[in-house]
Chains A and B, each alone.
Chain A
Amino acid sequence: GESVGLHLPTLSVQEGDNSIINCAYSNSASDYFIWYKQESGKGPQFIIDIRSNMDKRQGQRVTVLLNKTVKHLSLQIAATQPGDSAVYFCAENPGGYQKVTFGTGTKLQVIP
C-alpha cells in the first residue's frame, strides 16, 4: 500500500500580521522547553526557550507562553515576515537523563 507521511499542520499568515503556533506537550514533569525553526534544506535552529518556573518569555519579535495546567506551549511571532516561513518545532526536556522529545512541527506560510 501507499505510505503516508506525517501531516504537518499549516498556518498561513499575511505578512505583517502576528502568528501564533501551538504545541501540546506530553510529560507533566518536563522542566524545559525549546522552540526551533527549520527552513527548507537546513537543520533546526534554536529560537527561544523557557523553563517550567516561568509562564512567559520574550525575545526579539517572538514570545513563548507556557501553560503547565493544560500542558500547552505557544510561540507568538510579531509582524510576521516572509523570512519566517519555515517549520516550527517545540521540544520538551523531561528532566534527568531522559531524551529531549520533539513535536511533529507546524508549517508557517507567510503570504506576501
Chain B
Amino acid sequence: DAGVIQSPRHEVTEMGQEVTLRCKPISGHDYLFWYRQTMMRGLELLIYFNNNVPIDDSGMPEDRFSAKMPNASFSTLKIQPSEPRDSAVYFCASSQDRVKAFFGQGTRLTVV
C-alpha cells in the first residue's frame, strides 16, 4: 500500500479564497483523522471519521472549516473563506483501531 496520500503538498492562496485539501486513506482503515500542526499550538486533532461518519468535530476551529468523507477512500477538508491564521501544515491520518494512526506527508498551507 502507498500509505496515506494527501494533495496538494503545498498550497499558497490569498485571504478570502476557498481551499480544499484532499486525502486518500489506507485501504481497509475505518478511521480517518484530520490534524493541524503549527508552531504555536503543536499537533491538533480537527475531526475524525469512523466508517465515513464524522464522530468528533470538536476540534474544528470555526464554521469556516468543513470536512467530508463521501466514501471509504476519499476525504476533503475545506476552508472557506481562508485567513492568514489558517496557515499551517494539515495532516490526514488513517487507522484500523482509532489509536494507532498512519499519517500522510501533509499539506503545507500558506494564506497571504
Give me the interface of A with B, judged by CB distance under 8 Å.
3-6, 32, 34, 36, 41-46, 49, 89, 91, 93, 97, 99-100, 102, 104-105
Contacts and interface: CB of A to CB of B under 8 A. Distances in A.
B2 interface: no
B53 interface: no
15 contacts: A4-B40, A5-B38, A6-B39, A6-B40, A6-B41, A32-B99, A34-B99, A43-B106, A44-B91, A46-B102, A91-B99, A93-B98, A97-B56, A100-B98, A104-B42
Q: Which 5 A-B pairs have the closest CB atoms?
A: A43-B103, A5-B39, A93-B99, A102-B43, A44-B103
Contacts of B104: 43
Given A43-B103, A44-B43, A99-B56, 9 more contacts: A5-B39, A5-B40, A6-B41, A34-B100, A42-B105, A42-B106, A43-B105, A44-B91, A102-B43
B39 A97 contact: no
Interface residues of B, number: 23
Nearest to B55: A97
A89 B43 contact: yes
A46 B40 CA distance: 23
A23 to B, nearest CB: 13
Contacts of B102: 46
Interface in B55-82: 55-56, 59
A94 B104 CA distance: 24
A104 B88 CA distance: 16
Contacts of A104: 42
Interface string B20-59: 0000000000000000001111110100100000011001
Taking each of A43, A45, A91, A99, which has the highest tally of chain B beta carbons within 10 Å of its own beta carbon? A43
A3 B99 contact: no
Nearest to B89: A43
Contacts of A42: 105-106
A101 to B, nearest CB: 8
Interface in B94-112: 98-106
A4 to B, nearest CB: 8
